[in-house]
Each structure stands twice: as structure tokens, then as C-alpha cells.
Amino acid sequence: MKNKVTLSTLEHMKAAGEKIAVLTAYDAGFARLAESAGVEVILVGDSLGMVVQGHDSTLPVTVEEMVYHTAMVNRGCSLPLLVADMPFMSHGTPRQALDSAGKLMKEGGAHMVKLEGGHAQVETVRHLTDRAVPVCAHLGLLPQSIHQLGGYKVQGRDSRSAERILKDAHELQQAGAQMLVLECVPEMLGREISLALDIPVIGIGAGRGCDGQVLVLHDMLGITPGKAPGFSKNFMADTGSVEAAMRAYVEAVHDGDFPAREHCFQ
């Protein structure tokens, strides 16, 4: 990757059938390595609450902490599109969401913000995008709703819930969302949504039919405490270094080798 990645870059990649490689990072050092490996998008995820801070969920993460980590990542890279998560309870109302997004972009340097939720977030997405805030939506498994969902479970396995997720995806796109992260849904649903939308759909446990893939850095390096998610792969096991693992991940995504069938839900 030699040129600055923009939303137009990602739209062209989707249109051309080129896969998009996304990886999380939480500081300047790993951001620098991710950029060198050729990722198109770096996500500063609220997953930092679990893999960096040691919490058992993403819920305790604050806007101030997200700004802090986003700013560090921003200082470590210049080419990837930089997306920052809006943490739990930071977007309860459109006005609150605009305030949170403003901090992430003005103080943290994010190019885009990501927020979880379907139909209930349509008004917020429209409020943000009407005010020049690029939004990445997030459907399927919503880690911020983990207590409501009753655990980390695959979503959209029955026809009713699958139809709801597809409908929400259309509504969010119409409201102005320019990218969608789709987490832990059956591979068939992931492909259907990716084909139905004009915007890039980035999968994490959503199958091979998505326009791109994202993994949490610590999962990809095999250093997440406890059992790794079934949709992830330890790329450092066969490479021996962080930089080589990142390059192997990017290459596997671009070539369509990751995810393999064993990383997908049916």
C-alpha cells in the first residue's frame, strides 16, 4: 500500500471484487506495523477493554480512553483509513453521538466512527452523516449488547432474525452509513448482505462472501487469554514474528484464503 486509503478507495475495491484487509490496533507501534503490512483500514476497537485493559467485556471503555488510543494509532500511521469505535453509552442520543464523534475525530484523529446497532441507530447515523461525520455501522453480534443477547452467540440463524439484520443493513445504508461491520452471522447471510449493499461489508465471523475481513490484533497473533474465537486464526503460529504474521494475514485476506471454511458459521 503506497497511497492514502479513503472511503472512495474502499468503494472501488468492492466494485472490483478486491478484498479489504482490516485489523485492530491500539497504539503507535502496532499501527506502524499494520501499515507496513498493507492493511487498508485500522480499527481502534473498544475491544481494547478486553485485550488491553483486562475487562471481561467492552462495556467499561470510555470515550476519553478511545480518544487516547485513537490518537496514539493516528501518530503511528498515515496511509490506512482510521476508524474508531464509539463505546457503550456514548451514542444514546443523536446529540450525544455527535459530541462523542467530534472528540474521536478532532482530538483522536479518526477518519470515521463505528457504532453498534440496527434500526434504533438509523436516526443517529443520519444525524452524524448529515454533519459530515463518516459512519461505519455494526450489525450481527453486538458486543456492547452482550447482556441483552445473553452471551457471545451467532446471530441471524433463523429466518426472522436474518431478515431483520438484512433490513437494518439497508436502513443504515440509506441513512448514510458508508461501511458496515458484520459480526458472527451465518456465511450465507453475510454473502447476501454484501451483495445487497453498495457499501463495503467487513466480516468478522461472517463468512467468505464479505467484501473484507477484520480481526482483533491479539486474536490474529494468538495472544488473547483463554480460548480464541472460532472465526479467528493464529497467524503468528507459522510465521514467528508480529510483522510476518500481519503480512500473512493481509495476504490471506487479499487472496481470499482467509477465512477458510472452518472459520465460518453455517
pLDDT digits (tens, 9 = 90+) for 52-103: 999 999 999 999 999 999 999 999 999 999 999 999 999 999 999 999 999 9
Nearest CA to 133 out of 115, 154, 153 is that of: 115
pTM for this predicted structure: 0.96
What average pLDDT score do residues 213-238 get? 92
64 included as an active-site residue = no
**Which strand (E) or helix (H) includes residue 250?**
helix 242-255
* Environment class of 16 (CB within 10 Å of its CB; exposed 0-12, middle 13-18, buried 19+): exposed
Strand 135-140 with 112-116, pairing: parallel
Angle at 231 between CA 225 and CA 237, to 5 degrees: 60
For residue 204, the Cα-to-chain-centroid distance in whole angstroms is: 8
pLDDT tens, position by position, 91-123: 999 999 999 999 999 999 999 999 999 999 999
pLDDT band at 153 (very low <50, low <70, confident <90, very high): confident
Place of cell 433463523: 158
Nearest CA to 109 out of 141, 149, 66 is that of: 66
pLDDT tens, position by position, 232-265: 999 999 898 999 999 999 999 999 999 999 999 9
The pLDDT, as a whole number, for residue 52 is 95
Higher model confidence: residue 3 or residue 151? 3
CA dihedral 62, 165, 56, 264 (to 10 degrees): -130
Residue 6 scores a pLDDT above 70: yes
The pLDDT, as a whole number, for residue 152 is 73
Q: Check 183, 187, 243, 251 and give the catalytic one.
A: 183
Residue 148 scores a pLDDT above 80: no
Q: Cβ atoms within 10 A of the Cβ of 30, count?
A: 22
